[in-house]
Amino acid sequence: MQKNQQPSKWIIALAVILPTLMEIVDTTIVNVSLPHIRGALSISLDESTWVLTSYMVSNAIIIPITGWLAIKFGRKKYLMFSIFAFTFFSFLCGYAPSFYFLVLSRFVQGIAGGGLQPLSQAILLESFPKEQRGMAMAIFGMGVVVGPILGPVLGGWITDNWGWRWIFFINIPVGILSILLIELFVFDPEYLKKAKEKIESIDYMGLAFLAIAVGALQILLDNAQRKDWFESRFITTLAIISAVGFIMFIYNELKVEHPVVNLKIFKDRNYSLGNLVMFLGFFGFFGTIVLLPLYLQNLMGYTAFLAGLVLGPGALTTLIGMPLTGKLLEKGFDPRKLLLGSLIINAIAINIMAHFNLQADFWNVIYPRALQGFAIALFFVPLAAATFANISNEDMGNASGLFNFIRNIGGSFGTAIVMTILSRRAQFHQSRLVENLTPLNDGFNHTLDVLSLKLHDVMHQYAVIYKELLRQAYMLAFNDSFYFCAILFVVLIPTVFLIKKPSGSLDMSKMH
């Protein structure tokens, strides 16, 4: 196809969403396969987590500098190289003969995949006419929200049926198809070519400070709960390194003439507030995505596949809600009203989850998750519309990279903090419930009498009671953790009233 011929926006959407979905799925697809990887490569539990951490660290470092890289090397070239490298190192991950080979391959795979999300978002916004860009954000949102949910389900099925190496090999045909589509249908806009001429030098100091700060932060978040946070010298050291790295990075970026990340974009109120809402919103969203399968598998006895099926209806309602939300925005509906509705529905859905108990049936668990899925559709698309409403074409790549970076970091914080709350509240409830295991408690005595009819060993009787006590303590801890996530969405409600309504109905003409 010649450059002067305008390809179909839907073909372009397919071309950029395929690799983006592949990259997002890869952030979670490995989770359920870790036991198989540990057995195949003879590694410990702590060592196996580096298969996840190495990918997340390198991925997080690249995302915020994607806009700069796209200008420096050309967006199409950078996008095609990223997909090729991601696909090639996916093959190496599947081939990996040793643990260190796998970790190194995952690290480079994360570097290659880091730019796919912001690049896809920017290309989608350019490909759709301004009156249809709400739909463009809806398409992008489908991959962003559904990908992390699809990952564990797909990973579990592939691992059970084909083996863990195929969770990486499956990327190869997707990557090849994506490269072909992008070569044929995606082209660089003129403003990117002009912007490249303005870059005279590389901001090496900014790159170094960013890599140090983000790398230390991601390792901290991935290990904090297991090492008891700041009780660990390792975690404390990482926190200091990350804090100093971010301070030096911000100072450097505000001083240099051509920064690798333009932080002055945060002067726009909508953009700053939008990123705050995105950070806390995905904090709560990922918190519930982590909690729900744990509750089902550890307390309710669900298999990994059944736990994935519970998440499925939520993904389905998100897929239905995204295009509906896009249509509403096209018709000029105020995105702030949709965002407000999303926060309220999210709070209600998660509050229902906070009332789960040990007798909850399959359908009682599914319907609040499905409700939350629809709320997430109302959250992502209007928020992105309001956040990018005043961003110029030239700043869109930089803004998109930061927006995706903050979203991912919000999810990482949510996972780390919620797991900490779950663990500590379980300890709290366990200590309180143990106080009732005394001969002075009628319920305890009655339970012993009942168990004595079936079990003659007194220690076995106590073991059964203690096992049930642990289940109840964890159930109460899950309730507390869900409450925390629900409150987070309630706290976000006032921020909606601080966001300015985008000029016009939904004039997204600046969202190139």
* 270-321 tens-digit pLDDT: 888 989 999 999 888 888 877 887 788 778 877 766 776 777 788 788 888 8
Question: Can you say whether residue 504 is alpha, beta or left, with left for phi > 0 and alpha for psi between -120 and 50 degrees?
Answer: left
- Contact status, residue 192 vs residue 73, Cβ threshold 8 Å: no
Please report where in the chains the tokens 């409830």 appear, as a residue.
429
Q: Would you say the pTM of this structure is higher than 0.85?
A: no
Confirm if 288 and 421 have CB atoms less than 8 A apart: no
Mutual angle of helices 269-294 and 396-434, in 10-degree steps: 40
CB atoms within 10 A of CB 10: 11
Q: Cβ neighbours of residue 68 under 8 Å, at least 6 residues apart?
A: 199, 203, 260, 261, 397, 398, 401
Q: Between 75-95 and 9-25, two packed helices, what is the crossing angle to 10 degrees?
A: 40
- The upper half-sphere exposure of residue 451, i.e. CA atoms within 13 Å in the direction of its Cβ, equals 17
- In the chain, the largest separation of any two C-alpha atoms, in whole Å, equals 86
Q: Are 384 and 286 in contact (CB under 8 A)?
A: no
230 by Cβ neighbours in 10 Å (0-12 / 13-18 / 19+) ranks as: exposed
Tokens 């869109």 sit at which residue? 396
Residues of the chain with pLDDT under 50: 1-4, 504-512
- 449 backbone dihedrals φ, ψ, rounded to 5°: -65, -45
Residue the block writes with tokens 């006590």: 469
Do residues 341 and 289 make contact, with C-beta atoms less than 8 angstroms apart? no
Determine the pLDDT at residue 252: 85
User: Shortest CA distance to 221 belongs to which of 238, 233, 209?
Assistant: 238
Determine the length of the chain. 512
What's CA 282's distance to the chain center, in Å? Answer: 7
Q: What is the 3-state secondary structure (H, E, C) of 440-479?
A: CCHHHHHHHHHHHHHCCCHHHHHHHHHHHHHHHHHHHHHH
For residue 17, the model assigns a pLDDT of 82
φ/ψ (deg, to 5) at 203 = -80, 75
| Number of other CB atoms surrounding residue 485 within 10 Å | 29
CB 84 within 8 A of CB 175: yes
Provide Rg for the chain, Cα atoms: 24
3-state secondary structure of 166: helix
Q: Going by C-beta distance under 8 Å and a sequence separation of 6 or more, which residues neighbour residue 63?
A: 114, 115, 117, 118, 401, 404, 405, 408
In 3D space, the residue among 244, 243, 260 whose CA is nearest the CA of residue 205 turns out to be: 260
The reported pLDDT for the residue numbered 85 is 93
State both tokens at 344. Answer: 């309220």
- Under DSSP, the state recorded for 97 is -
Q: Report the pLDDT value the prediction gives residue 304, as an integer from 0 to 100.
A: 64
- DSSP annotation of 132 reads G
Q: For the chain, what is the total number of helices (H) and then of strands (E)?
A: 21, 0
What is d(CA 316, CA 318) in angstroms, rounded to the nearest whole number?
Answer: 5
Helix axes 34-41 and 50-62, enclosed angle (nearest 10)? 120
Asked whether the CA dihedral 364, 366, 370, 373 is positive or negative, the reply is positive
